[in-house]
Amino acid sequence: MPCFDMVVVGSGGGPDETNLSAYLIKPFHANWGDGIVALEAGSGMGALTQILKHTPDLFTSRLQDCNSAPGYSASAIYSFIRCFLITHAHLDHVNSLIISAGSLGGSRKRIFATEQTLHDLETVFADRIWPNLASWKEDDDSFRYLYTSLLTDDQYRNVATDISVRTMPISHGHNDTSGVYDSAAFFVRHDPSTREFLFFGDVSPDTLSPKPRTVNVWRAAAAKIPLTLSTIFIECSWPSGRADDLLYGHLSPIHLADELTVLATEVAMARKFVVKDLRNESGPTRKKSKSNPLSPESLYGALDGVRVFVIHCKDGHEVTYDRSINHIIADQVRALVAAKRLGADILAADQGMRIGASMILMHSI
Ligand SMILES: [Zn+2]
Ligand SMILES: [Zn+2]
């Protein structure tokens, strides 16, 4: 059985403002009305209203109320949100959180993010660009949002019933004024089962970054794959052929395939050392290694049972494609990963999709 239910409100990376990063999740066995976690908030109620015109039963529970559930409106669904989880404060990730701040129904909502990201949001909620509708105080009920910092330690923080999150910093480009720009990766855990999925905010290739930190995320994920972690959401903003100096802090297929190779290496090493440790009565012997001591053949099938959803694809290219850009890019990533025989299943996340996340055999819906 899956552990999470997810609805993709938007999976693009711009410039189409009707399809920007926004995912709604709940524990699989809960009802949407029991509370929703909004993972990113690029697109929002407007996009969901359009989606529901085509699939009015998108939020009908497959378990409790197959035939009897009302078709929820977008505003009803957004009133169920208990908290937002935000990887970084770029507009394509927070647009709807800002626009709808004064009109969301339901209880006061927390915004979980790193302190830097929350400070970035404060510059918007400062009575100039937008009214101040958020505060840091627990008892400020007149403010619709409650800023809540996530630490980038190795702890899981409970963010909603049965859902906890571990936050890791990653690099998302850099500029002359502020240096490396931080984004975040979230390990989202279903507490009762301890299963989790991994969700990346925008991220640079480690091979090009002055501060390569994605490897830390792969290292933290490796030992969990695939039994407790089998679903990864990661950006691939550009199609193949994009020059490295025009990535602007994002991945292209060749770089995503390289990143997945690093993950496969970490998985293979974790398994190798588990076997070694079992044979070695004196206990664990693994030392941190900077280089890859493994041959390409030893990575074959290392990511069997892992689903990788490609997200944040940018549209609006000069080249005209016969299909949507996220499918073009997913195909390109899939071919590269297949050539390396890593074993991962590469999928495109589509707007309006409902996904049962965090299980090996669940298919996207
Ligand atoms: Zn960004
Ligand atoms: Zn973005």
CA 319 – ligand 1 centroid, Å: 23
Distance CA 358, CA 266 (A): 20
Q: Output the CA 40–ligand 2 centroid distance in Å.
A: 10
What spacing in Å lies between the alpha carbon of 211 and ligand 2's midpoint? Answer: 19
Count of helices and strands (H, E) across the chain: 7, 15
pLDDT for 287 equals: 53
Q: What is the pLDDT of residue 320?
A: 84
Cα of 360 vs centre of ligand 1, distance in Å, is 29
Output the pLDDT for position 38: 98
143 alpha carbon – ligand 2 mean position (Å): 27
What pLDDT sits at residue 317? 76
Distance (angstroms) between ligand 1 centre and the Cα of 327 equals: 21
Q: How much distance in Å is there from the Cα of 249 to the middle of ligand 1?
A: 8
Q: How far is the CA of 314 from the centre of ligand 2 (A)?
A: 9
CA of 253 to the centre of ligand 1 (A): 17
Q: How far apart are CA 56 and CA 50, in angstroms?
A: 10
Going from the Cα of 347 to the center of ligand 1, the distance in angstroms, rounded, reads 21
Token pair 């933290």 is found at: 220
Q: Which domains does the chain have, with CATH numbers?
A: 4-357 (3.60.15.10)
Distance 176 CA to ligand 2 centre (A): 19
- Residues 288-341: pLDDT tens digits? 555 556 899 999 999 999 999 999 999 987 788 889 999 999 999 999 999 999
Alpha-carbon distance 122 to 107, whole Å?
21
**Positions of the chain with pLDDT under 50:** 65-66, 359-365
Of all ligands present, the nearest one to the C-alpha of 13 is 2
Q: Which ligand is nearest to the CA of 203?
A: 1
CB atoms within 10 A of CB 23: 26
Cα-Cα-Cα-Cα dihedral sign, residues 265, 174, 254, 309: positive
Q: Which residues, 6 or more positions from 258, have their beta carbon under 8 angstroms from its beta carbon?
A: 205, 207
Neighbours of 274 (CB within 10 A): 13
Tell me, in angstroms, the distance from the centre of ligand 2 to residue 126's CA. Answer: 22
312 Cα–ligand 2 center, Å:
7
Predicted pLDDT of residue 294: 83
pLDDT in tens, 230-262: 999 999 999 999 999 999 999 999 999 999 999
